[in-house]
Structure 1
Amino acid sequence: METMMRWVAGAGVGFWRACAVTAVTMLVPALWAAAVVLAVLWVEDPWTWIPLFVVAGVGTLGLSRPVCRWVRALVTRWTGTVVPPGYREPPPVTQLSTGFWWNGYTYAKTAKQAREEQEWRHKLRDPATWRDLRFVEIVALTAGVASMIPLVGIALAALGFATSSYVAGGAGLLVGIGSSPYGWRLLEPVAVRFLRPPAVTSLTERVSELTAQRADTTIAQAAEIRRIERDLHDGAQARLVALGLSLATAEKLMDTDPRQAKALLQEARTGAATSLTELRELVRGINPPVLNERGLADAVRAFALDSPLEITVDAEPLTLDPPIESAVYFAIVELVTNAIRHASATSASISIVRSAGALGIVVEDNGRGGAAVRPGGGLEGLQRRLAAFDGTITTTSPAGGPTRVTMTVPCESS
Structure 2
Amino acid sequence: MMSWVTSACVGFARACAVVVVVMLVPAVWAAAVALGIWWGAANPWSWVAPLVLVCVGTLALSRPVCRMVRFLVAKWTATEIPAGYRQAPPVVRMSTGYWWNGFSYERTRRDALLDQRRRTRWSDPANWRDLRFTAIAPVTAGLASAVPPAAVTAAVLGFGRPELHMRLAGVLGAVVAIATAPYAWRSVRPVAVRFLRPSTAMALADRVDELTAQRADTTVAQAAEIRRIERDLHDGAQARLVGLGLSLATAEKLMATDPEQARALMREARLGATASLAELRELVRGINPPVLNERGLVDAVRAFALDSPLEVTVDADVRLRLDPPIESAVYFGVAELVTNAVKHARATRGRISLTRDAAALVVDVEDDGRGGAFAQDGGGLAGLRRRLAVFDGTLEITSPDGGPTRVRMMVPCESL
TM-score normalised by the chain length of structure 2: 0.86
Aligned in 2, Cα 1:340/1:101: closer, same or farther, shift over 3 Å?
A: farther
Measured after TM superposition, the shift of residue 261 of structure 1 is 2.7
Shift of 1:108: 5.5
The answer to which of 166-175 and 350-359 deviates more is: 166-175
Q: Which residue of 1 aligns with 2:138?
A: 140
Residue aligning to 1:29? 26
| Aligned equivalents of 2:110, 2:309: Cα separation in 1 | 46
CA contact (8 A) 1:213 1:387 kept: yes
Q: Alpha carbons of 1:299 and 1:20: their partners in 2 closer, same or farther (altered >3 Å)?
A: same
Mean Cα deviation higher: 259-268 or 292-301? 259-268
What is the distance in 2 between the residues matched to 1:9 and 1:349? 38
Aligned to 1:126: 124
Q: Is the 8 A contact 1:25 1:136 kept in 2?
A: yes
One-letter identity of the residue aligned with 1:192: V
Hey, what does 1:75 align to over in structure 2? 73
Query: What whole-Å deviation, never above 9, does each CA across 1:185-212 have from its counterpart, x for those lacking one?
Result: 4423322332222333333333332333
Rounded Cα–Cα distance in structure 2 between residues aligned with 1:278 and 1:109: 57
Alignment of 1:155-174 (within 5 A): 155-168=153-166, 170-171=168-169, 173-174=171-172
- Quick one: structure 1 residues 242 and 34, their matched pair in 2 at CA, closer, same or farther if it must change by over 3 Å? same
Aligned pairs for 1:33-182 (under 5 A) are 33-38=30-35, 41=38, 50=48, 54=52, 57-79=55-77, 81-96=79-94, 101-107=99-105, 114-168=112-166, 170-171=168-169, 173-175=171-173, 177-178=175-176, 180-181=180-181
Q: Deviations over 1:72-124 (max 9, x none)?
A: 33334555554333333332344555666544334566766655543443232
- Which of the numbers 361, 364, 384 marks the counterpart of 1:362? 364
CA distance in 1, matches of 2:240, 2:371: 41
Instruction: From the superposition, tell whether residues 51 and 281 of structure 1 become closer, same or farther in structure 2 (CA, over 3 Å).
Output: farther
Q: How far 1:132 moved relative to its partner? A: 0.9
Shifted more, 158-167 versus 393-402: the winner is 158-167
The alpha-carbon distance between structure 1 residues 282 and 359, as it changes in their structure 2 partners (threshold 3 A), is: same
**One-letter code of the match for 1:121?**
R
Counterpart for residue 205 of structure 2: 204
Which whole-Å CA distance do the structure 1 matches of 2:172 and 2:361 have between them?
A: 52
TM-score (norm 1): 0.86
Report the CA distance between 1:358 and its aligned residue. Answer: 2.0
Distance 1:80 1:367 in 2: 30
* Local SS of the residue matching 1:348: strand
Query: What are structure 1's unaligned runs of at least 5 residues?
Result: none
- Aligned AA (1:72): R
> 2: CA distance between counterparts of 1:142 and 1:122?
30
Q: Which residue of 2 aligns with 1:265?
A: 266
Is the Cα contact below 8 Å between 2:158 and 2:169 reproduced in 1?
no
Bigger mean CA offset, 64-73 vs 324-333: 64-73
Change (3 A) 1:47 1:16: same
Query: Which of 337, 345, 348 is matched with 1:346 structurally?
Result: 348
SS in 2 for 1:184: helix
Among 398, 401, 408, the alignment partner of 1:399 is 401
Report the alpha carbon displacement of residue 373 of structure 1 after superposing the two structures with TM.
0.9
Q: What amino acid is aligned across from residue 386 of structure 1 in structure 2?
A: L
Match of 2:245 in 1: 244
Aligned-pair identity (%): 64
Change (3 A) 1:13 1:265: closer
- Determine if contact 2:291/2:299 at 8 Å carries over to the other structure: yes
* Separation of aligned partners in 2, 1:211 and 1:25: 37
Q: How far apart in 2 are the matches of 1:177 and 1:46? A: 49
Distance 2:93 2:306 in 1: 47
Aligned 8 A contact 2:147 2:184 in 1: yes
More moved, 362-371 vs 198-207:
198-207
Which secondary structure state, in structure 1, belongs to the residue aligned with residue 378 of structure 2?
A: coil
Match of 1:375 in 2: 377
Q: 1:235 to 1:102 in 2, by over 3 A?
A: farther
Which residue in 1 is equivalent to 2:288? 287
> In structure 1, which of residues 4, 7, 20 is the aligned counterpart of residue 17 of structure 2?
20
1:194 maps to 2:192:
no
Aligned residues: 411
Q: Which amino acid aligns with 1:25?
A: V
C-alpha contact 2:365 2:408 (8 A) present in aligned 1? yes
Determine the C-alpha separation between the residues in 1 that align with 2:123 and 2:207: 19
Q: Taking structure 1 as reference, are residues 97 and 258 closer, same or farther at Cα in structure 2, changes over 3 Å only?
A: farther
| Deviation (angstroms), 1:254 | 2.0
- TM-aligned CA distance change 1:232 to 1:266, over 3 Å: same
Superposed CA deviations along residues 230-286 of structure 1, whole A, max 9, x for unmatched, are 222232223222322322232223223334433332332232122112111110110
Bigger shift: 33-42 or 212-221? 33-42
* 1:26, distance to aligned residue in structure 2 (A): 0.8
Deviations 1:330-361 (A, max 9, x none): 11111111122222223322222224232211
| 1:248 aligned partner, one-letter code | A
Contact persistence 1:151–1:176 (CA under 8 A): no
Q: Report the CA distance between 1:394 and its aligned residue.
A: 0.6
CA RMSD of aligned residues (A): 3.1
